[in-house]
Each structure stands twice: as C-alpha cells, then as structure tokens.
Amino acid sequence: MRESVAYELIKKEGFEEGLQQGMERGLRQGFVQSARRLLVGALEARFETVPRSVLTMLQEIDDPDILEMLHKAAVRAESMEHFKEKLRAVVEQ
C-alpha cells in the first residue's frame, strides 16, 4: 500500500510539473505570436504592404526581445528596404 501511495504522489507531482511547463510554454508562444502580429501591423501601417519574404523571416524568430527590437526598428525605418536590412542582420546572427 505504501508503494501505491508513493507512486500516486510522484505521478501527481510529475503531472503538475508537466502542466506548469506546458502553460509556461503556451504563454510564451502566445506572447511571441502577439509580438509578431503587432510588428506586422506596424509595418503595414507604415508601408501598406509587407513582402512575403519579410513575413517568412519573421516566422523564424521566436525571441520576444528580438521581436520587440524589430518593432521599434519598423517604426523608425525610413523604408521597407531599410527595415529588411535590419531584419536580415538579425536573422543571419
């Protein structure tokens, strides 16, 4: 009976830890998706259209800090070409 109780306790702790990790991963993924949407929205507001090549490169980035930095670059960019240079530099790192 003790093994059964110990086993159930370990199983419950493992489940709770897995659930917590899954929630954290989901929150991060949601934040990254929102940051991407905001960045694309800023580019559309600034330059009207966003080239498919830019959208493809943005999909490769999953670091929220980099997406935030790119958002600022999008707002300051003189042209889409200027933004693409910044984006390429980030992707090539």
Tell me which residue has tokens 């009976």. Answer: 1
Determine the structural domain holding residue 24 and report its residue range.
Answer: 2-92
pTM exceeds 0.85: no
The share of the chain scoring above pLDDT 70, in percent, equals 92
pLDDT, average across residues 46-52: 96
What was the pLDDT predicted at 2? 55
Between 75 and 4, whose confidence is greater?
75
pLDDT, average across residues 13-31: 78
Give the pLDDT confidence of 57-87 residue by residue, as tens digits. Answer: 999 999 999 999 999 999 999 999 999 999 9
For the chain, how many structural domains are there in total? 1
DSSP string, 5-67: HHHHHHHHHHHHHHHHHHHHHHHHHHHHHHHHHHHHHHHHHHHS---HHHHHHHHT---HHHH
- Summary mean pLDDT of the chain: 88
